[in-house]
Structure 1
Amino acid sequence: MTRKARVLIVDDSPTMRRLLRASLLTDPRIEVVGEAEDAAQARDAVNKYSPDVMTLDVEMPNMSGLEFLRRLMAHRPMPVVMVSTLTSQGSAAAVEALALGAIECVEKPRFGNARDTMARLAEIVHMAASARVREPVPRRVIEAQNNVTPFAGSEKIVMIGGSTGAVEALEVLLRSFPANCPPTLITQHMPAAFLSSFAARLDPLVAPNVRLASEGEEIRPGNVYIAPGGDYHLNLDTKGPLRTRLVAGPAQSGHRPSVDSMFLSAVPVANRVVSAILTGMGRDGAAGMLALKDGGARTIGQSEDSCVVFGMPRVAGEMGGVETWADLQDIGKTILTQCTRRKKVRTK
């Protein structure tokens, strides 16, 4: 944005509102235009100030942040950044909020990490101001995805990377996977506590088995393995039977778990890989996708029109790593089609 991002802060705690305001105002690209302590005040403030971005507490009195978000997205879609506690209940609610269309979720500051959390919030809020926000995909459309594409099986492995906006995208995508889908590894940028809730939420909604990856699992059809995050990247061990490998180490391409780390680990078996890169901020996954494509993998990028943030797919495309572009609702079908299609071998 060329002008300042106009932000509305919604939180029932006056102390938290002051902390959020003080932190956001340290960023010269941000202007706080109003505050609200509950859903009713937030509704009125949206109408009065027309903010570019809202920060929203997950747990509020009278009407929960989730219910307010659901109504807001149905009637006046706008960028929303959720602010949540990292309890198991709060994490599950935060993941639900992301599925409802929130741009991102940031943990509430705790003793010892307030400075890092607030610095991250300002950057996310500024990014959110230019995000594409539309009405969420209707539940009937998402649910109609289930098992719509027959799959005869293959020797392929699927790898998917995503970030901002990809919680909803992954649900839509995995709804189209049948129970015997190719073994699928996913790296999604989220805090570890949120990733655990994300896997638990997805598993009963889709036909394949979904869980957090653990060390040394032999990957099998019908299973989706999500990077657990925290101290680890999710990689593929290509020595012998293909297995998951959790690699402790520093952030790669600015993230842990990193999409690049996962993609690059599969280069030795690239001709067996179908990879997809979904909506997200930054460039994580772009270098890895190019290396996979050069090694013979099929590569798919989420189309700009269907992305919340056309960052990761854009960079991957600019680097030459994207072979096929697809809209969100077609990506699952495209992946399965590519899993059964042989790539032509170039001849001199």
Structure 2
Amino acid sequence: MRVILADPDKTQLRRSAQRLTTLRGISVTDVCSDLTQTFNAVEHRPPQLVILAAALMERPEFEMMDLLFRTLGVAWLAQRGAGRATRPGALSTERLVDLDQSDEAVLALLNRAVGAGTTPPPRASAGLLRSVGKESDQRLILIGSSTGGIDALLTILDVFPADCPPTLIVQHTGASYSAGLARLLDRHAAAQVREARDGDVPKPGTILLAPGADQHLVLSARAPHACNLQSGARISGHRPSVDALFRSALPLASRVTAALLTGMGRDGADGLLALRQAGARTIAQDRATSVVYGMPGHAVQIGAVEHELPLSAIGSAILNARQRVKV
């Protein structure tokens, strides 16, 4: 069994690696001190199992790790005693392993975890909904999300057809994860998903993700309204910022459908209000289906939202929104 270990405590990491090498049939292929190293190791050298310090589950980046585990069918366990999750009930006993137990007990748990497998994310339903001729060339979809947003994006992109309207996304991920997220979303979407590049012109069938954490993704004010990656201070506490993207699209508001999904804080709420006032269609995820209701909740409070919907309804609502297109 190929195993990757992840723990910021180097002493504990070394101890765990030594322990596992005493077990028959176990091969430790990588040892990692943070989630960035773990993500790269899992993506490029997929193991059968990842054992990580429980405290790493509390990092925002673990949302990306969980998607990667499910995409590649990699099982994972958190090591009891190697850091601890701070949220009550964050870990079930089935997800915990104590490497100080007997060889038989540890091997049984590792084999059970690998045998149980993982639940893959939804696969894209290509052709479930189709764009409407030239209208998809004129329309523009903007999406902002943060905590809980990765699974929300998977659900929404599941109904996007291969020829979906041009789509731009700001998902708060951190500098090291946007490229990996784009690759993972691309595996599950019918349309092409990739990081936005400076000068990209949004086109039908292409979903562009704001890259890194050093620049904002905005649209140029003049036709053909290309993507610009702009340096600058954080906006609404974030870089890239949903507000920055939404506000840059105000000259195109009559063509825009904008959605604000689950996330902490209020990034995107003010920009969504400005878009709605300028003629855009605006949607927010409802409280019941949001992991964190901060961003959509603020947008609802200030009157920025035309339709507040459960996550399962947002993808089709975005595609079916009737635009006031100015030709």
TM-score interval w.r.t. the shorter chain? 0.5 to 0.7
| Cross-structure match for 2:154 | 171
CA contact (8 A) 2:124 2:188 kept: no
- If the length of structure 1 is used for normalisation, what is the TM-score? 0.64
Q: CA 1:16–1:309 in 2, change beyond 3 Å: closer, same or farther?
A: farther
Number of equivalenced pairs: 258
Secondary structure, in 3 states, of the residue corresponding to 1:216?
A: coil
Superposed, 1:140-289 pairs within 5 Å as 142-143=122-123, 145-153=125-133, 154=135, 155-289=138-272
For the residues of structure 1 that align with 2:261 and 2:71, how far apart are their CA atoms? 15
For the residues of structure 2 that align with 1:175 and 1:224, how far apart are their CA atoms? 13
Point out where structure 2 has 5 or more consecutive residues left out of the alignment: 18-33, 73-84, 91-117
Superposed, 1:13-162 pairs within 5 Å as 14-15=9-10, 63-65=49-51, 80-82=57-59, 93=65, 96=68, 139=120, 142-143=122-123, 145-153=125-133, 154=135, 155-162=138-145
Secondary structure, in 3 states, of the residue corresponding to 2:152?
A: helix
Q: CA 1:212–1:275 in 2, change beyond 3 Å: closer, same or farther?
A: same
CA contact (8 A) 1:95 1:194 kept: no
For the residues of structure 2 that align with 1:94 and 1:165, how far apart are their CA atoms? 11
For the residues of structure 2 that align with 1:321 and 1:275, how far apart are their CA atoms? 10
Superposed, 1:251-330 pairs within 5 Å as 251-330=234-313
For the residues of structure 1 that align with 2:60 and 2:249, how far apart are their CA atoms? 35
For the residues of structure 2 that align with 1:295 and 1:169, how far apart are their CA atoms? 26
For the residues of structure 2 that align with 1:80 and 1:65, how far apart are their CA atoms? 11
For the residues of structure 1 that align with 2:319 and 2:63, how far apart are their CA atoms? 31
CA contact (8 A) 1:279 1:312 kept: yes
Deviation at 1:13, TM superposition (A): 5.8
Equivalent residue letter for 2:209 = I
For the residues of structure 1 that align with 2:273 and 2:11, how far apart are their CA atoms? 43
CA contact (8 A) 1:161 1:187 kept: yes
| Cross-structure match for 2:315 | 332
CA contact (8 A) 1:280 1:310 kept: yes
Deviation at 1:317, TM superposition (A): 0.6
CA contact (8 A) 1:162 1:188 kept: yes
Measured against aligned partners, the alpha-carbon deviations of 1:203-228 in whole angstroms (never above 9, x if no partner) come to: 13211111110111111111111001
Q: CA 1:286–1:91 in 2, change beyond 3 Å: closer, same or farther?
A: closer
- If the length of structure 2 is used for normalisation, what is the TM-score? 0.67
CA contact (8 A) 2:130 2:164 kept: no
CA contact (8 A) 1:95 1:197 kept: no
Equivalent residue letter for 2:68 = E
Deviation at 1:259, TM superposition (A): 0.2
For the residues of structure 1 that align with 2:286 and 2:224, how far apart are their CA atoms? 34
Point out where structure 1 has 5 or more consecutive residues left out of the alignment: 1-9, 19-35, 39-54, 70-78, 85-89, 101-124, 132-136
Measured against aligned partners, the alpha-carbon deviations of 1:51-106 in whole angstroms (never above 9, x if no partner) come to: xxxx999589994148x99xxxxxxxxx942587xxxxx99746525989xxxxxx
For the residues of structure 2 that align with 1:248 and 1:324, how far apart are their CA atoms? 33
Deviation at 1:143, TM superposition (A): 2.4
Secondary structure, in 3 states, of the residue corresponding to 2:143?
A: strand
CA contact (8 A) 1:98 1:167 kept: no
For the residues of structure 2 that align with 1:83 and 1:257, how far apart are their CA atoms? 16
Measured against aligned partners, the alpha-carbon deviations of 1:14-61 in whole angstroms (never above 9, x if no partner) come to: 45779xxxxxxxxxxxxxxxxx969xxxxxxxxxxxxxxxx9995899
For the residues of structure 2 that align with 1:227 and 1:304, how far apart are their CA atoms? 25
What's the Cα RMSD here?
4.0
CA contact (8 A) 2:63 2:150 kept: no
CA contact (8 A) 1:233 1:261 kept: yes
